[in-house]
Chains A and B, each alone.
Chain A
Amino acid sequence: MAAAPSVRGRDKDSLARFLGWFSIGLGTAKFAAPRAMCRLIGARGDGDSRSVMRLMGARELAQGVGILTRPRPAGWLWARVVGDGIDLSLLTLTALRNKEHRGRTAFAIANVLAVTVPDVLESERHRRRQGRTYPGMLMRKAVTINRPRGEVEAAWTAAAIELHRKIEQVGGHVVFSDAPGNRGTEVAVDFIDAPPAGELGAAVLKAAGSDLATELSNDLRRFKQLVETGEIVRSDSTPDGRLLADQLHQRAAQPLEEAVR
């Protein structure tokens, strides 16, 4: 059903993965042992600088997790580049204020500069590879209709304007193809699902059965019914049932009080 672009795995080569783990290692050290880390870079390690060190540790950890877990981590790689800048300015500040350990600070600056190079290169490479990013997931809903392609295409053209508009609104497009084995025509709708509030919103809508994918799947099913049987089947409990959301709150399976026809 969901066809996520195939970027997982292959997209994240060993350099990005190294940078992710590097962030986590360094972040853990900064967060867990700020005093020792302060001394290592030639800072005093008193109250304020320890807090700053902890904060930087938390930043590194977030970047590391982001790079390792996101399918397309370009944004998180750029965050590393920004982080390198912050580190360099803080280190410069340290060098100006703590003159007695300048040697250590200089060594730290050299280290940050050394890692900034792969950070920039990898960020740039990922940005180029990702190309245009969509705020959502590429989805497909498909149905097979037991009728020749010409007939299905004609029926689609004549179908409810509402359905066409819905697909247009979500930037979707329809593909017709012959189903193998003389089973009629496959109708596939490709679209971008971008629910409000991202993945959380998607989960909420899906649980309620009113997500776009479920809605389109029901629409396609009704279209199939119309083309194959000439009508949209009604039952006593769902005389006009359309969305899964409606199906979850239906009436008892008793004849209707009033004619719907």
Chain B
Amino acid sequence: MKANCWLGRNVVDVEDVPDPRILNERDAIVRITSTAICGSDLHLYDGYIPTMKRGDVLGHEFMGEVVDKGSRVGNLNIGDRVVVPFPIACGDCNACEKELYSLCENSNPNAGLAEKMFGFPTAGIFGYSHLTGGFAGGQAEYARVPFADVGPIKIENGIPDESVLFLSDIFPTGYMGAEMCEIKNGDVIAIWGAGPVGQFAAASARMLGAERVIMIDRFEYRLRIARENTGAETLNYDGIDDVPEALKELTGGRGPDACIDAVGMESHHHGSVYAYDRVKHAARMEADRPFAIREAIMSCRNGGIVSVIGVYGGFVDKFPLGALMNRGISIKTGQCHVQRYMRPLLERIQEGEIDPSFVITHKIPLSQAPIGYELFKHKLDNCLKVVLKP
């Protein structure tokens, strides 16, 4: 089959690889009908996530049709149309029982490796380095889905791929980011990053009752999409000196009630601080460039919440721990527990409350995946989200 493989920093290519097979009795094989490039794929592309190997099949946002299954997958039938969540979760361990699926204790065969890196291991993830299990990803014609009796959600009516594909990651991720803000009536939420996850965080914050949502980015086209589709106000940081100061004045001197970091480890900024972190990051002396979270903490009102859904990988410099502690700010974080949100969010889509397809700007064949990565990475051609069609 054809699959998009990581070949080194800034190099991916669609190659011929063996077809996947059932390796465990709770596996299913899915023929992929739609798959997408995620912002976190760019961290792999840029070479900031360790333990990638040349030839790794990328991709963790995909859906398709079940074409084979192991003997213990009772809930799916051959021919079923499914969306596959990006964390692989067994459904049996303590973490899964508490619906903390991205912390599944059993789905990462490389747990020993992950434990050395993070202290405790996390769940397996499709196509997302060997630290998360070394599973082949879904930017391919077929994928093997472990614990298929737990993860995939059946799509039973004729709702198009484009409207449900993002249940695999970015819609639930954005939703969880908003949910962690514990939104109450009248709350003002600020969101760093108007990428696809930021867009869904904004839409979700509104759904959960936020009075105002303010999005911060430097790309006007992304801010425009946010204004048109999520009801957010926007702040282009390219034009202003000091984001926390601007947010303070926009919120009557209080600061936002909660701040969502939907940017993560490769954030941008201007001025000398950016140069400092950019150099350290490029030299791999600092694992993450933490501007967004620094600003989120400095902007958040006293006693507020900072919700981190942007991905970080290691250690950061100049973290404003003093502000965090003395001002009573809570940090909430996590890779999304997608399985927890798929059913309720599918219902919202079916009821017409939201159509997640608004983030798609490019739909191209799988064979053009390398072009998709370049478009998305460099924000060319007003790119916001690339969907690949095998």
Contacts and interface: CB of A to CB of B under 8 A. Distances in A.
Contacts of B54: 252
B97 interface: yes
B371 interface: no
Interface stretch (B101-109, B211-219, B373-381): B101-109
B17 A234 contact: no
A250 interface: yes
Interface string A208-219: 010000100110
A146 B97 contact: yes
A210 to B, nearest CB: 11
Interface string B100-134: 00000111111111001000000010010010011
B132 to A, nearest CB: 9
Given A254-B18, A257-B18, A261-B21, A247 B26 contact: no
A235 interface: yes
A18 B105 CA distance: 51
Interface residues of B, number: 46
B113 A247 contact: yes
B53 A237 contact: yes
Chain A contact residues, majority secondary structure: loop
A258 to B, nearest CB: 8
B135 A218 contact: no
A236 interface: yes
A235 B135 contact: yes
Contacts of A256: 18, 21, 23
Interface in B28-84: 53-57, 72
A183 B94 contact: yes
Given A228-B106, A233-B24, A252 B90 contact: no
Given A230-B72, A250-B53, A236 B113 contact: no
Contacts, number: 138
Interface stretch (A103-111, A193-201, A238-246): A238-246
Given A241-B109, A247-B130, A254-B17, A236 B53 contact: no
Given A229-B90, A252-B56, A255-B17, A236 B144 contact: yes
Nearest to A225: B106
Contacts of B25: 230-231
Interface residues of A, number: 39
Nearest to B72: A230
B283 to A, nearest CB: 24
Contacts of B135: 235-237, 253
B137 interface: yes
B93 interface: yes
A175 interface: no
B192 to A, nearest CB: 31
A237 B3 contact: no
B23 A239 contact: yes
A225 B133 CA distance: 14
A260 B23 contact: yes
Given A146-B97, A233-B107, A253 B112 contact: no
A70 interface: no
Nearest to A240: B109
A215 to B, nearest CB: 10
A224 to B, nearest CB: 7
Given A229-B147, A238-B109, A146 B57 contact: no
A251 interface: yes
A259 interface: yes
Nearest to A214: B112
17 contacts: A217-B112, A221-B111, A225-B106, A230-B26, A231-B24, A231-B72, A233-B106, A233-B108, A233-B146, A237-B56, A241-B109, A250-B53, A252-B54, A255-B18, A257-B18, A260-B21, A261-B22
Given A144-B94, A237-B135, A239-B23, 13 more contacts: A228-B92, A228-B93, A229-B93, A231-B72, A233-B24, A234-B109, A235-B109, A237-B56, A243-B112, A253-B55, A253-B137, A254-B3, A255-B21
In the complex, the 5 A-B pairs of residues with the closest C-beta atoms, listed nearest first = A237-B134, A252-B55, A255-B20, A244-B112, A228-B92
Interface of B: 1, 3, 5, 17-26, 53-57, 72, 90, 92-94, 97, 105-113, 116, 124, 127, 130, 133-137, 142, 144, 146-147
